[in-house]
Amino acid sequence: MKNVWEEALFNLSKAAEAMDLEPEILERLSVPMRFTEFTIPVRMDNGARKLFLAFRSCHQDATGPTKDGTRVRSGLTPEEIKALSLFMSIKHGVAGIPAGGGKGGIRADPSALSEGEYERLIRGFIRRLNPKGAFTDIPGADIGTGKQAMAWMLDEYEQMTGMHCPAAINDKPAELGGSLGGFEATGWGVAACTGKAAEEMNLEPGRTPVVIQGFGQVGSVAAKKLSSMGFPVTAVSDIAGAVENPGGLDIGGLAAHVERTGSVAGFPGGRNADKGRILEIPCGILIPAAVQDVITAENALRIQAKVIVEAANAPVSPEADDMLASAGIRVIPDVVANSGGAIVCDFERIQGLSNDYWSLDKVEERLNGRILTAYREAAERAAERKVSMRRGAWINAMGKIRAAMLLRGWC
Ligand code: NAD
């Protein structure tokens, strides 16, 4: 694969082929509905003005207003933003979220900016982004943006419009109308999908070791939830090291150790392991929760798990996908397994529009219901077409977008 945009088009065309999608609809889905590139002039602390390049891609809005994150990093490319907007269309379709796919970003290194420069950049982004709003295009957070950035975006938006409208911006702090459970959402969704896959494959929690690569927001929350569901989490890695305990790691103790030291390495409740080999440890369930492309043609045949749950985006390469299928290893695809964050973002919009804010228990209960429906629908489409669950999930989402486009008379 050359780049993320080509990879997105590859998945799109494979699903289109498997579902006999009309060429006209495939053509519409193969290019964003609207892609804007704009500049943001920012007054730097030394008095000079610097121009930053920004992008926003709205993939399609047949299924609802476009929605999702804002990535700030140096080296950001238009292809990356286009691909991510397409993925969000699919993820929203998979999870039954009435929204199209959106993604935006700014080419800048946040660590090279002072707090004031970063705030002016973020405020400049929302000022210059057009169109925008709760019923049009709703930005959220991504790499390089977090709750504070989204609070500034909301404030700037509301200052411009003269109206309070929490549903116009996602991933806000709870004090400004954000949803509870936003931090936990993706990890909880991964755990729910893992539990479902184990049940379908008759893997008893108490006897099914789980190995997790990555112990950040997603990996640590999933580990904690799975541990509470009775699964022994026997090995965990992060960028700095790995730790294992065949009897099951104490996840609470491990989280406290990471809080203290910054890494899972050296945790006294286990022995240090080779982080380069974490994916090859024999286990029932393997959860890559770090970065993309970690399971490739090079190591796929050394994987000794019964099922892989993709918590990270695209951790399994297309070549490895085929090899794992031949080896009888099931893959629960990213668009299903890590859709918990997108689902709770939708809950955030619903709460903002209705001014009715939910308890953490209600968020979790509704998240579980929504993600398990996404799981079931993807598995059903896969069984009908005799394709992988990844393909089934894409077919499910594309079928919903297709229906919306036809009903609107667009094709
Ligand atoms: P994070 O930055 O909080 O944590 C990443 C973890 O992976 C850290 O423990 C880091 O040390 C580890 N890591 C990084 N490179 C590694 C490597 N080469 N080998 C082993 N460990 C490595 O990130 P996160 O929010 O937990 O996200 C993890 C993945 O899930 C990313 O691919 C992200 O795109 C994806 N994802 C996240 C969300 C979300 O809501 N946070 C939603 C969907 C998808």
pTM of the shown model: 0.96
CA distances from 174 to 13, 122, 164, 334, 352 (A): 40, 19, 15, 27, 11
Write out pLDDT tens, residues 55-80.
999 999 999 999 999 999 999 999 99
Residue 30: count of CB within 10 angstroms of its CB: 13
* Ligand 1 atom 22 nearest Cα: 239
Give 313 Cα–ligand 1 centroid separation in angstroms.
Answer: 9
Pocket test for ligand 1, best of 179, 291, 343 (most atoms within 8 A of CB): 291
- Interatomic CA distance for residues 117 and 288, integer angstroms: 35
Give 133 Cα–ligand 1 centroid separation in angstroms.
Answer: 29
Q: Is the pLDDT of residue 4 over 90?
A: no
Q: What is the CA radius of gyration of the chain?
A: 21
Give 340 Cα–ligand 1 centroid separation in angstroms.
Answer: 15
Per-residue pLDDT, 7: 85
Pocket test for ligand 1, best of 211, 217, 244, 287 (most atoms within 8 A of CB): 217
Which of the residues are catalytic?
Answer: 103
* Ligand 1 atom 43 nearest Cα: 338
Q: Which residue ranges have their beta carbon within 6 Å of ligand 1?
A: 186, 213-219, 237-239, 275, 289-291, 311-313, 338, 341
Write out pLDDT tens, residues 101-160.
999 999 999 999 999 999 999 999 999 999 999 999 999 999 999 999 999 999 999 999
Burial class of 331 by CB neighbour count within 10 A (0 to 12, 13 to 18, 19+): buried
Q: Is the pLDDT of residue 374 over 60?
A: yes
Per-residue pLDDT, 82: 97
Q: Is the pLDDT of residue 2 over 70?
A: no
Residues in the chain: 411
Give 289 Cα–ligand 1 centroid separation in angstroms.
Answer: 5
* Ligand 1 atom 30 nearest Cα: 312
